[in-house]
Structure 1
Amino acid sequence: MKSCESSGYSPSRDLLKRLSERGIDMETLVEASLKLFIPWKGMNREKARKTIRKYLKLLSRDPNISSLVMASARLDEDARIGLIPGLSKEDYLKDPVYLVADEILGMALALYINGWNGLFEYYRYDREKPGVIKRLPPFMDDVIAAFIAGVTSRIYSKGLEERP
C-alpha cells in the first residue's frame, strides 16, 4: 500500500481542505448555512456570515467531527462502486428509504456538536437541503447538513446566553 505522501496527499490536511477537494469549500458551506439562518437583533446576515465561518473553522479541528465527516465521504465512495454489502450501487444512487445509516451519522454528528438543539436544527437542514447539500451524495448530504446545523444551532444557543 502506498503512503499518503507518495500518493500526493498530505496527511496533515485539515477537514476544510479535504472538503474543498470534494467541491465543498468554505464559502459553499457558509452560503448553505445562511439559506436557513434566522437573524435577530444583534446578529445580522453579515455578522452571521463571519460567525458561521469562525465556528466552521473551530469545529473542523475536532477529530470526532472530522472522523464522522470523512467516514461519510468514504462510505459514499464505497457505495458508489457497490462495495457496501447488501446495497447495490444502483440502489445507492436512488438513496433508498431503507438506507438509514446516513441519517444516523447525521443525527450523531448534530447531537455531538450541540445536543438536542443541534439535532432539531439538523432536521431543518436535512429536510430543506439548501445550497450544496442538495447536490451531495446520500452520506455526505446528511453529515454536511449536520455540520452546518451544529454550527448554526451553537450560534443560536450563544445568542440566547447573551440576552439580557
Structure 2
Amino acid sequence: MDNGNRINSIDNEYIMKKLSKYGVNSKLLLDSGMKMCICTEEEQDAIKNGFYNILNTSVKNPNVYTLLICAILMDEEGKAGNMPFDYESDPTYIYSDEVIGMSIANEIAGTKGTFNFKWYDAKKPGIIGKLDKEGYMYLDDAVAGLVAGCMSKLFENINCK
C-alpha cells in the first residue's frame, strides 16, 4: 500500500480505543472542553455536534494521530522507569510533554489552538485533570492539546454571541 492510501485509510477507532484504556473517550473530551466554554444553552447543541465532528476529523490527521501515540508510549515508558529523569515527579525542566500538547493543538487549529492549550493545561478541566492526578505526564498534555485544538477550531466555524 502506498503512503497516500495509508494516510487516507486512517480511522479514529484505533486511537480512540487506545485512549479508552486510560479512561479517555469522546464524551469526556467534550465535557473538558465545555467546562471552559462560555455560551448560552441554545449554543450548546451546536457546540457539542461541532466538537464531535472536529474531533473525528482531527484524530484521523496523521500528525495528531502519531503525537497521541507518542504521548501514550512516553507514559508507558515513564511508568516502567525507562526515562532519563524522575518521571514520577514531572520535573519542570522537562517540557517535551508540553511540546506534544502544543503541537496537537497547533496542528488542529493553528496559533489559536496553541494559545488555548495553555489555558486547558493550566486549568486541567475534567479528564485532563484526572490524567494529571493519575500521573500521566504526557497524556494529560496531549489530551489538553486535543481539546484545545478542537474547541479553537470549532469557534472558527460557529457564531456564538
Q: TM-score, normalised by structure 2?
A: 0.82
Alignment-derived partner of residue 35 in structure 1: 35
Q: Is the 8 A contact 1:55 1:151 kept in 2?
A: yes
Q: Secondary structure at the match of 1:14?
A: helix
- Which residue does 1:25 correspond to in 2? 25
Secondary structure of the residue aligned to 1:138 is coil
Find the counterpart in structure 2 of residue 72 from structure 1.
71
Question: Cα distance, 1:39 vs. partner?
Answer: 2.3
Separation in 2, partners of 1:157, 1:47: 13
Contact preservation (8 Å) 1:14, 1:60: no
Corresponding residue for 1:52? 51
What letter corresponds to residue 149 of structure 1 in structure 2? A
What is aligned with 1:100? 95
SS in 1 for 2:93: coil
Match of 1:59, as an amino acid?
A: S
Structure 2 unmatched ranges of 5 or more = 1-11
Deviations 1:64-94 (A, max 9, x none): 111000110000000111112x21xxx2112
Note the aligned Cα RMSD (angstroms).
Answer: 2.1
Q: Post-superposition, which runs of at least 4 consecutive aligned residues in structure 1 deviate over 2 A?
A: 38-41
Shift of 1:13: 4.5
In the TM superposition, what are the counterparts of 1:136-155 in structure 2 within 5 Å? 136=131, 137-155=136-154
**Contact kept in structure 2, 1:16 and 1:57, CA below 8 Å:** no
Distance (Å, rounded) in 1 between the aligned partners of 2:144 and 2:62: 18
User: What letter corresponds to residue 109 of structure 2 in structure 1?
Assistant: N
Q: Which has the higher relative contact order, 1 or 2, with Cα contacts under 8 A spaced 6 or more apart?
A: 2
